[in-house]
């Protein structure tokens, strides 16, 4: 029997979403100093960041997709599939188009200038990128690939809403399959096999067509979150398994870091590394969801509501601000700690400033993923009951 979604807000999922996006922004700052290519690189490079990224790399985006699916379910429970589709497109399409036209080009332009492949201005770059020849090579998305994927995945969830009988069977089947210790074991096996069997062939491109490993994982957890959002038995299982999940995580994280640091990290056909990857990927997510569900469900307040509203505009703005900041700071030759501190402060502070400006401007609100003022007033009561509803 399908259990109704809880009537109260799930503040735990709001907190998790805010924290995960904040962590993602800090991760992007670290890429300026990582030992591989990025849009704009500092004069400082730290090889140990390769191992450090193993701490969050396996689960950070997977958790965001899962929470996004759960958030969509909370938002959609009182609306028809057509109403949800209209709301999602109104929420996601304007920022995606606006971002492609005006947020990504400065990043691509400064990258080309920094690497010596372009010496003209931003206007000339923009005209080249959106000329027929430039568009023939594809539209660069950079960090907006996540928004594109969420948009497409939302279409799959809406399609599932049109068959409530299928959705009910999926929910009940997941509840039976993932009871007790199987909540940890079954997803871990799934993640390990996907990493071993698909990742070597397809990698993770963040390009919609052909990104089959990424789709299997990300669409899979998005629909999982959508299906289990209101199944209280599954959330109680997360709570019951939280310590076991934490134990697995505390073993798998240093194990993956050690394997990553090894020159033979892909020995034995890559199985040791990918087993450690899959163990960390789900055990950390299960730990966060379990402890969050137990302790943060009602941890609501004005700070959380502010951050919940701000997180999507901040995500849209942060990488453009980061790339500009890195480009401007690089010639100064500052010590690494000073440069990184300034870059982090500028990225987070600048993103919040963009949010503050956008939320005060009626015409600009939809372009930054915010509801129009009039719409916000009409749905204020329903939104307060069903959050986290405004997830990218």
Q: 3-state SS string over 8-67?
A: CCCHHHHHHHHHHHHHHHHHHHHHCCCCCCCCCCCCCCCCCHHHHHHHCCCCHHHHHHHH
Average pLDDT, the chain: 91
Distances (CA, A) of 145 to 57, 95, 119, 169, 344: 17, 12, 27, 31, 22
What's the mean pLDDT in 264-278?
Answer: 90
pLDDT at 3 over 80: no
Summarize pLDDT for 329-364 with one digit per residue, the tens.
Answer: 999 999 999 999 999 999 999 999 999 999 998 899
pLDDT at 164 over 90: yes
pLDDT at 388 over 60: no
Give the Cα-Cα-Cα angle 62, 14, 388 (nearest 5 degrees): 95
User: Residues 65-104, buried b or exposed e (16+ Cβ, 10 A)?
Assistant: bbbbbbbbbbbbbeeebeebbebbeebbebbbebbbeebb
What's the mean pLDDT in 136-145?
Answer: 91
Cβ proximity of 386 and 230 under 8 Å: no
Cβ proximity of 244 and 282 under 8 Å: no
**Which pLDDT score, from 0 to 100, does residue 77 have?**
86
What's the mean pLDDT in 12-16?
Answer: 96
**Which pLDDT score, from 0 to 100, does residue 2 have?**
42
C-beta atoms surrounding 207 within 10 Å: 12
Summarize pLDDT for 65-116 with one digit per residue, the tens.
Answer: 999 999 999 989 889 999 999 999 999 999 999 999 999 999 999 999 999 9
Q: Which two tokens stand for residue 357?
A: 């400006």
Summarize pLDDT for 205-256 with one digit per residue, the tens.
Answer: 999 999 999 999 999 999 999 999 999 999 999 999 999 999 999 999 999 9
Residue 102 DSSP label: I
Q: CA 329, CA 349: separation in Å to the nearest integer?
A: 16
Reported as type and span, the H/E element at residue 100 is none
Residue 366 DSSP label: G
Tokens 């329903």 found at:
382
Task: Report which of 219, 81, 232 is spatially closest to residue 160, judged by C-alpha positions.
Answer: 81
Q: How far is CA 69 from the centre of its chain?
A: 11
C-beta atoms surrounding 270 within 10 Å: 16
pTM: 0.92
pLDDT at 27 over 70: yes
Q: CA 371, CA 365: separation in Å to the nearest integer?
A: 6
Query: Using H for helix, E for strand and C for coil, what is the string for 340-364?
Result: HHHHHHHHHHHHHHHHHHHHCCCCC
pLDDT at 184 over 90: yes
pLDDT at 161 over 70: yes
CA dihedral 5, 6, 10, 16 (to 10 degrees): -50
What's the mean pLDDT in 269-281?
Answer: 95
Q: Which two tokens stand for residue 321?
A: 């601000």
Q: CA 391, CA 144: separation in Å to the nearest integer?
A: 14
**Which pLDDT score, from 0 to 100, does residue 291 have?**
98
Q: Which two tokens stand for residue 390?
A: 């405004």
Task: Report which of 239, 240, 280 is spatially closest to residue 257, judged by C-alpha positions.
Answer: 280
pLDDT at 378 over 80: no
**Which pLDDT score, from 0 to 100, does residue 269 have?**
83
**Which pLDDT score, from 0 to 100, does residue 268 have?**
85
**Which pLDDT score, from 0 to 100, does residue 9 have?**
66
| SS3 state at 252 | helix
Confidence of residue 392 (pLDDT cuts 50, 70, 90): low
What's the mean pLDDT in 154-177?
Answer: 96
Cβ proximity of 104 and 142 under 8 Å: yes
pLDDT at 4 over 80: no
Going along the chain, which residue ranges are E strands? none
Cβ proximity of 26 and 182 under 8 Å: no
Rg (CA), the chain: 21
Q: CA 301, CA 185: separation in Å to the nearest integer?
A: 35
Q: CA 261, CA 33: separation in Å to the nearest integer?
A: 17
**Which pLDDT score, from 0 to 100, does residue 176 have?**
96
């Amino acid at each position: 029997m399908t259990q109704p979604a809880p009537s109260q807000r799930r503040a735990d999922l709001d907190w998790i979403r805010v924290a995960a996006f904040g962590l993602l922004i800090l991760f992007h700052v670290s890429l300026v100093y990582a030992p591989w290519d990025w849009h704009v690189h500092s004069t400082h490079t730290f090889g140990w960041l390769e191992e450090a990224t193993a701490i969050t790399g396996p689960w950070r985006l997977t958790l965001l997709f899962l929470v996004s699916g759960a958030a969509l379910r909370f938002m959609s429970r009182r609306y028809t599939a057509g109403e949800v589709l209209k709301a999602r497109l109104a929420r996601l399409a304007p920022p995606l188009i606006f971002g492609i036209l005006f947020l990504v080009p400065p990043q691509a332009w400064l990258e080309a200038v920094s690497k010596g492949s372009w010496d003209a201005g931003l206007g000339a770059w923009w005209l080249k990128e959106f000329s027929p020849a430039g568009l023939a090579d594809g539209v660069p998305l950079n960090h907006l690939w996540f928004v594109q994927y969420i948009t497409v995945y939302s279409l799959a969830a809406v399609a599932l809403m049109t068959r409530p009988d299928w959705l009910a069977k999926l929910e009940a089947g997941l509840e039976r399959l993932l009871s007790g210790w199987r909540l940890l074991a079954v997803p871990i096996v799934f993640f390990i096999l996907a990493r071993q069997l698909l990742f070597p062939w397809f990698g993770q491109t963040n390009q919609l067509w052909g990104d089959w490993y990424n789709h299997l994982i990300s669409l899979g957890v998005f629909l999982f979150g959508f299906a289990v959002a209101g199944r209280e038995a599954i959330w109680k299982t997360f709570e019951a398994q939280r310590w076991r999940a934490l134990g697995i995580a505390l073993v798998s994280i240093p194990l993956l870091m050690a394997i990553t640091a090894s020159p033979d990290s892909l020995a034995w056909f890559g199985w040791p590394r990918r087993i450690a990857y899959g163990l960390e990927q789900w055990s950390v997510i299960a730990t966060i969801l379990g402890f969050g569900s137990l302790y943060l469900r009602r941890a609501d307040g004005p700070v959380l509501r502010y951050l919940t509203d701000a997180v999507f505009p901040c995500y849209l703005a942060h990488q453009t601000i980061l790339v500009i900041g890195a480009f401007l700071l690089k010639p100064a030759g500052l010590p690494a700690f000073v440069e990184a501190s300034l870059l982090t402060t500028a990225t987070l502070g600048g993103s919040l400033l963009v949010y503050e400006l956008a939320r005060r401007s009626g015409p600009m609100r939809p372009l930054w993923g915010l509801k129009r003022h009039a719409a916000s007033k009409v749905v204020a009561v329903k939104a307060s009951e069903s959050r986290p509803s405004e997830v990218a």
